[in-house]
Amino acid sequence: MATAIYLEHYLDSIENLPCELQRNFTLMRDLDNRTEEKKGEIDKLAEEYVATVKKLASEQRVEHLQKIQNAYSKCKEFSDDKVQLAMQTYEMVDKHIRRLDADLARFENELKEKLEVSGYESPEARGLKKADSRGLREKRVSRGRGRKSSDDDSPRKKIKNSPDPSDALLPMQPSDVLDMPVDPNEPTYCLCHQVSYGEMIGCDNPDCPIEWFHFACVDLATKPKGKWFCPRCTQDRKKK
């Protein structure tokens, strides 16, 4: 019954996940197409500039270069939006995986407690008890040093020192799963030195040692317009 409840709740939680994933992937594909179109526009503008640069006046050159610069900025904006979507998609799936791990650990813990209360013995435990009985009979007929040896090697001693099969099945508590990192090899970002999650923004300083920051860590609620520099790079720019 408990299994059905956990399963029902989890299925309800992921009911909209396929639609959300499809929406994000569709948006990412659309951003890819728009980026490719903008790159084609940049190539065309660059070819026109190279072909006519000698005939253009100074103001016309500046205007033409500004068009190329604007196209590059738009292309970068599309790429940044795609990265944000990819991070949101990863976080969306990871959230459900972590919940599944927590539910499994919680369910196994409850099952272990019920088995202990009911006094249920697994076939393995019953087999160990039979072996224990045989060992006791052998120990009764042994004498002297043989008696001492049988005490040391008796199945009872082995049962006491061997791990409980249910403990081997349930080495993890629900809190351990919730606190467990998603991927120990995943790179860290931001001032907080944590993995990527939620909405993030990239510093426009190409030499920024951190590059990506969580919105909350840099006091942002929405993506700012124009170029954005992280607190460290902003401070360095002021010193210069």
Binding positions for Zn(2+): 190, 192, 203, 208, 214, 217, 230, 233
Phi and psi at residue 128, to the nearest 5°: -65, -35
Residues paired with residue 212 on neighbouring β-strands, in sequence order: 202
Measured distance CA(67)–CA(226) in Å, rounded:
16
Measured distance CA(142)–CA(130) in Å, rounded:
19
- The binding site consists of 190, 192, 203, 208, 214, 217, 230, 233
Question: Going along the chain, which residue ranges are E strands?
Answer: 200-202, 212-214
Q: Residues in the chain, how many?
A: 240
Question: Going along 96-240, which residue ranges are E strands?
Answer: 200-202, 212-214
- 56-68 as b/e, with b when 16 or more CB fall inside 10 Å? eeeeeeeebeeeb
Q: Helix, strand, or coil here: 99?
A: helix
Q: Helix, strand, or coil here: 90?
A: helix
1 Cβ contact list (under 8 Å, min separation 6): none
- Categorise residue 144: left if φ over 0, alpha if ψ from -120 to 50, beta otherwise: left
